[in-house]
A and B are shown apart, each in its own frame.
Chain A
Amino acid sequence: MSNPERQNPEGQGVAPDLAMVTALKAGDQSAVVQLYDRYSSVVYAVALRVLGDTGAAEDVLQEVFLQLWRNPAAFDAARGTLGSWLAVIARNRAIDFLRKRKPETDLEDVIVSVSPDLAREADRSRAAEKIRGVIGAMPPPQRSALEMAYFEGLSHSEIAGKTGEPLGTIKTRIRTGLMTLRKAFQT
């Protein structure tokens, strides 16, 4: 991956995520605190976006970091960055919560490929700003379909029913939206 936004910054005054995860595996409680301070805002924001309820979002936040504490080996650094992984776990748990169902995805099964490194606050801000710019530039129906699927947990048929659009159109919009995001981080 040649894109510098997807590479791990080394020696930038911030302990690499991987070192924190190694400390977690060794039972170091201070590591979970450091990772909480680093990523709790991301996790909480995702949960709040999905659930729209601060109490429920706080419960998801708690669960995500407790799961990390209990099973740090579930994170595979070769398959994505910790910040992205936690954000996706938060999204999945929040959707489960929304649907009042038991967790459907094991932590080990969550793979997010490679995505922007977020160990530093500046990286997180820059990445979020860029993503929001890309999403904001999407045609509104495409953005809406993508967000209904991702943040409301609706299936494509539910989205089609809600918008009155054909199923095929919804499928294409979601795929095109994801590909647009990919391209933005490949250039």
Chain B
Amino acid sequence: MSAHEQFADDLALYAVDALAGDDRTALEAHLAGCSACRLELEQLRGDGALLALSTLGPKPPQRARQRLLDAVAKEPRVPVKVAETRARRSWWGVLGWAATAAVIVFAASLWKENAALKQTLASANAQATQNARELEDIRRIAAPIIEPEAQVVTVVAMKAQPQPQGKAFYLRSRGNLVFLATNMPPLPPNKAYELWLIPMQGAPMAAGMFKPDAHGRGTVINPPLPAGAEAKAFAITVENEAGASTPTMPIVMMGAGE
């Protein structure tokens, strides 16, 4: 038992879907920031699966097999011909994203450094000019992914629907974060998505708000974050536009570091 002992009983109940009310809400909030408890939850669900496997009963009627065959025949699936291509594309895509992200994060850092230089070091004007030139170059590179009018195309397997997706690029040492989301569902009025940095220890940190545009795209660039916070994961919740100090369940999207 490696999870927090105070949640042990509730985790077991949650694993078999027997936890309700405030206890459930409190546990879900804790799970959002505790990988040890999430791991224990997986184990407990595995334990629960053993219960399902214990069942005895008659075999299903023969007609059920034919019924399934008929249903499957009505839903032929085209083999995913793009699978291999997609895998390669995603690899190159990762490189592209990573390179672009590195550029953007570096740009943000340069921007900060640039401002500091102008204020405090007159002798650094030449360097600042150089930085500004580099920043302009970087902006040109980054424009296709952060400018609202840029066209964004999500390539997925044939017949598959594009799914909501977010990419967080985080430079821990400087506290720089760029987050790009696509295919986000629209929100009710007065609601917005809030990004959370889930640290290795402690409570989730608010990492910026965004509302998707008409194309489902949203961006968060360099929200105020303390430098050095190690991110275990990033998560997204739906909050009031003013934002929240703690995540409101449910977590609609979540991803751990690659």
Chain A residues proximal to chain B, CB less than 8 Å: 25-27, 29, 32-33, 36-37, 40-42, 44-46, 48-49, 54, 57-58, 61-62, 65-66, 69-70, 79-80, 83-85, 87-88, 90-92, 95, 110-116, 118, 124, 127-128, 131-132, 134-135, 146-147, 149-151, 153-157, 159, 168, 171-172, 174-175, 178-179, 181-182, 185
Task: Indicate if the CB atoms of B45 and A49 lie closer than 8 Å.
Answer: no
Number of interchain pairs (Cβ within 8 Å) = 183
Which of B9, B49, B76 gathers most chain A CB within 10 Å? B49
Contact: B59 with A41, CB < 8 Å?
yes
Instruction: Kindly list chain A residues whose C-beta atoms are within 8 Å of the C-beta of B61.
Output: 54, 58
Query: A57 — which chain B residues lie within 8 A by C-beta?
Result: 60
Lowest 4 CB-CB distances: which A-B pairs, in order? A113-B46, A175-B12, A45-B57, A87-B52
Interface residues on B, range: 35 or more
Query: Which one of B66-74, B164-172, B204-212 contacts A?
Result: B66-74
A26 touches B79 (CB 8 A): yes
Q: Which of B1-40 contact A (CB under 8 A)?
A: 8-13, 15-21
A134 CB, min distance to chain B CBs, angstroms: 8
Q: Can you pick out 8 interface pairs between chain A and chain B where the beta carbons lie within 8 Å of each other?
A: A44-B58, A66-B72, A80-B49, A131-B53, A155-B19, A157-B20, A178-B15, A182-B47
- Nearest-neighbour CB distance to chain B for A57, whole angstroms, equals 8
Contact B49 A112 (CB under 8 A): yes
CA–CA, A154 to B21, complex, Å? 13
B48 with A150: CB separation less than 8 A: yes
Q: Is B213 an interface residue (CB 8 A)?
A: no
Partner of A29, one of B10, B50, B56, B72: B72
Cβ of B226 to closest chain A Cβ, rounded Å: 32
For A94, give the chain B residue with the smallest CB separation.
B52
Main secondary structure of the interface of A (DSSP, over half): helix
- Say which residue of B42, B58, B77 sits within 8 Å of A111 (CB atoms): B42
List the B side residues contacting A149 at CB < 8 Å.
Answer: 13, 16-18
Are B53 and A87 in contact, with the CB atoms below 8 A?
yes
Query: Assuming A33-B69, A154-B18, A174-B12, is B53 touching A115 (CB within 8 A)?
Result: yes
Cβ of B80: which chain A residues have Cβ within 8 Å of it? 25-27
Cβ–Cβ < 8 Å partners of B53 in chain A:
42, 83-84, 87, 115-116, 118, 124, 127-128, 131
Flag if B65 contacts A44 (CB, 8 Å): no
Q: Which of B15, B43, B46, B67 contacts A62 (CB 8 A)?
A: B67
In the assembled complex, how far is the CB of residue B35 from the closest CB belonging to chain A, in whole angstroms? 14
